[in-house]
């Protein structure tokens, strides 16, 4: 999986393209830890290019959520694809990580 990071005034956008599985999970954690360490504690993970996610990938997202929260911010996800949405609902995890329609919408309510 390829990650790119874009820092915007209100939040940082992390873009993941490919499969967010057990191989990509530790890498995602590193990328977000780095983003948070550099001062952006509001993070949006743009999942438009993530066509597959397994439990390890979801576990990594939760780990990243914790990082952002502990730094006083938050992590949100946007543009989830059908398979990812299914995994979220199967585990009831959509109640913890609610998907947003777009990156812009993620932090629009503060």
Partner 1 sequence: MNRFLVRLVVVLTIILGINYVAWRWLDSLNWSAWWIAVPLVLAETYSLIDVCLFGVTVWRLKRRPEPPEPDPGATVDVFITTYNEPLDLVMETALAAQRIRFPHNTWILDDGARDELRGLAEEHGLGYLTRSADWADRPRHAKAGNLNNALMTTSGEFLLILDADQIPEPEILDRTLGYFRNPKVALVQTPQYFSNVPADDPLGSQAPLFYGPIQQGKDGWNAAFFCGSNAILRREALMQLGLAGYVREVDRGVRQALAGARRAVRQARRSPQASDPLVSALLDEVAEAAEQASRELKDGASLSEITYRVRRKVDAAVQTLVAADFSALEADLAEIAAMDLARGEGLEVPDELDSAVERMAKRDWSPLGALESVQAILDAVSVERSDEAQPIMPLATISVTEDMATAMRMHGMGWESVYHHEILAYGLAPEDVQTMLTQRLRWAQGTIQVLLRENPLVQPGLKPGQRLMYFATMWSYLSGFAAVVYIAAPIVYLTLGILPVSSLSFDFFIRFIPFMVVNQLLFAVIGRGVSTWRGQQYSLALFPTWIKACTTAARNVWFGRPLGFAVTPKARQSGAPGWSLIRPQLVAMVLLAVALVAGLGRLAAGMNEPIGTLVNVAWVVFDLVVMSVLIKAVRYKGFNPLERNADAIHR
Residues 62, 77: Cα–Cα separation, whole Å: 11
CB of 101 to partner 1, least distance (A): 14
* Residues counted in the chain: 110
Work out whether 58 is an interface residue with partner 1 (CB under 8 A): yes
Work out whether 85 is an interface residue with partner 1 (CB under 8 A): no
Q: Where are the beta strands (DSSP E) in the chain?
A: 2-7, 12-20, 42-46, 50-53, 74-78, 99-100
Work out whether 98 is an interface residue with partner 1 (CB under 8 A): yes
Identity of the residue, 84 or 97, whose beta carbon is nearer to partner 1 in the bound complex: 97
| CB neighbour list of residue 110: distance below 8 Å, 6 or more residues apart | none
- Which positions lie near partner 1, rule CB under 8 A? 22-23, 25-26, 29, 54-56, 58-60, 62-63, 65-66, 69-70, 74, 91-98, 110
């Amino acid at each position: 999986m390829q990650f790119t990071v874009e820092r915007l005034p209100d939040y940082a956008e992390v873009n993941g393209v490919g499969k967010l599985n057990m191989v990509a999970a530790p890498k995602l954690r590193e990328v977000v830890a780095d983003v948070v360490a550099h001062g952006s504690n509001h993070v949006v993970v743009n999942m438009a290019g993530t066509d597959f996610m397994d439990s390890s990938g979801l576990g990594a997202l939760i780990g990243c959520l914790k990082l952002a929260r502990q730094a006083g911010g938050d992590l949100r996800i946007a543009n989830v694809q059908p398979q990812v949405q299914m995994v979220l609902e199967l585990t009831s995890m959509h109640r913890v990580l609610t998907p947003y329609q777009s990156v812009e919408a993620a932090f629009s309510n503060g």
